[in-house]
Amino acid sequence: MISGGTGGTRRERFFEVISKARARRCAAIMGVCNVTPDSFSDGGRYLSRADALARVDALLAAGADILDIGGESTRPGAKPVPADEQLLRVLEVVRYAAHKGAVVSIDTTLPEVAHACLDAGAVCVNDVSNLHEPTLADVAFGAGAALILSHARHPQELMRGATAVTETEYDNIVPEVLRDFCAARKKAEARGVPHDAIVMDPGLGFSKTARHSMELLRRTAELVSGADAPVLIGASRKSFLTLVDRRAGSDDRLGPSILAAEFAARAGASIVRVHDVRETRQALDLSVVLYTHTGHGVGGGVP
């Protein structure tokens, strides 16, 4: 049994933070802490223990509501990282972040990694496989944790990047993604995870063309209304954003990343997952001020 907290205390804390953040700026900001050598945007920057702990401090100082800590790259085609290696990378970082008072999500598809990190203070499991490994739901249920299910039709090592996917992969991407998510959620619920403990992530960039991902982002409001669950949008620095700037590298996508987060928040997304926390927070806060003062309100869809 995972120690520390019983019943729904972990997920209750997770969703309380989201609720308070949404009241302030429409969406909670999830800051990314990749303790990996090969993540698409910041691989290798925070692989050392000292750099990872400094990243935690920086994300909290910048205003992150949630920290998403992972020890395995989720870029398409990335090689799986064994549980012991993931734990070597992330366990002390999770423990440190939790000690600092952070609300921590552990980004993993492995039940043993999720279990150890929940025991170290995480309150949520972020599963980018859409519950490819169903026993991950057992771990989340046993800990009373929240569970994020990110849409993916293939295991990570078989995931194809945007240029390797054809436009015919989906006939109508929004209902198909919603259908796949609902199937994964039913699997999680069958293993005890409460309906209201699950978050939906449409998996922008995961075996989708750039146009698929852009379409999902553009139709965030439909995802929100159709999911019957809080929706997380993770567009930050992803390659599909080069549709507006073909030559922009991952570090040159701050502008579209911020606008994508602001758009998603105003379309009803509950969480935006970002690398650039301070800049995103500033944009969302300014959006609230501007739309409040112009009479458009601050939530419930794109004005």
Residues with catalytic roles: 238, 273
- Cβ 160 vs Cβ 154: under 8 Å: yes
Amino acid at 110: L
Q: How far is CA 232 from the centre of its chain?
A: 6
Residues in the chain: 303
Q: Looking at 88-231, which runs of residues are DSSP E strands? A: 104-107, 124-127, 146-150, 198-201
- Cβ 238 vs Cβ 23: under 8 Å: no
Bridge partners for 31 per DSSP: 67, 274
Phi, psi torsion values for 31, nearest 5 degrees: -90, 140
- CA pair distance 23, 33, nearest whole angstrom: 25
Q: What is the largest CA-CA distance in the chain?
A: 53
Q: How far is CA 231 from the centre of its chain?
A: 9
Encoded tokens for 273: 């997952």
